[in-house]
Amino acid sequence: MTVTRAEYCVIACAEAWRGDGEVLASPMGLIPAVGARLARRTFSPDLLMTDGEALLVGVDGTVEGWLPYRRHLALVTGGRRHVMMGASQIDRYGNQNISCIGDWARPKRQLLGVRGAPVNTLNNPTSYWVPRHSRRVFVEKVDMVCGVGYDHADGAPYHRIPRVVSDLGVFDFATPDHSMRLASVHPGVTVAQVREATGFDLVVPDEVPCTRQPTDRELRLIREVIDPQNARSREVGD
């Protein structure tokens, strides 16, 4: 059965929550949301998921509990949430920018703003999803630090960046200085392509595996249950 690039991205995002236990999954974006719901249905059944307002819900929308805002904040600041955010820029140490391009005092382009990125990254694990891997996103140094990377996180007890997923591959920070490492490439992508699309020197192991293929059951869940309209293909094409 042919697996699309978007489906490999879904699997890579789902794997971010493997082994997390009972934490609040907060996926931001379509493919991360499909990935989180897939993880909950398969290898991470203890994940907590919300309707985005005040309820904890199951994968089928069944109400499982109440999550008032004050309780949500307690999870956020105590390491009990794992967010997957986007990034307009991300650098070798995992600093993320979603605020502006160019100098903050006179930016070339205004983006979302800092939002909750500092609180997210300092107080609970944060992964990232980048649907278009390029040198404009993977930069030597972000124009403004919104999400805090490893070189700015001394003393933050819950800071952790489990992984970065892009349409080309999967990245982590499993290096002595916590600089970004290429963990896997999606099938059809070469290491040379990833290097060419990255604006800094990645740590690249001697052997780089391919991102794991979804099982038949996972594919059925993605295609028939979680995303039957195939919205994922509009975010990542082949």
**DSSP state letters, the chain:** ----HHHHHHHHHHGGGTT--S-EEEE-SHHHHHHHHHHHHTT-TT-B-B-SSSEEE-TTS-EEEE--HHHHHHHHHTT-EEEEE--SEE-TT--EE-SEES-TTS-SEE-S-STTHHHHHHHS-EEEEESS--TTTB-SS-SS-SB--GGG-TT-TT-----EEESSEEEE--STT---EEEEE-TT--HHHHHHT-SS--B--SS-PBPPPPPHHHHHIIIIII-TT-THHHHS--
pLDDT tier for residue 53 given thresholds of 50, 70 and 90: low
pLDDT tier for residue 52 given thresholds of 50, 70 and 90: low
* Structural domains of the chain, with CATH: 5-228 (3.40.1080.10)
Tell me, what's the pLDDT at 8? 98
Task: Indicate yes or no: pTM above 0.75.
Answer: yes
Q: What is the mean pLDDT of residues 190-215?
A: 97
- Is the pLDDT score of 64 beyond 70? yes
Tens digits of per-residue pLDDT, 124-175? 999 999 999 999 999 999 999 999 999 999 888 899 999 999 999 999 999 9
- Is the pLDDT score of 77 beyond 80? no
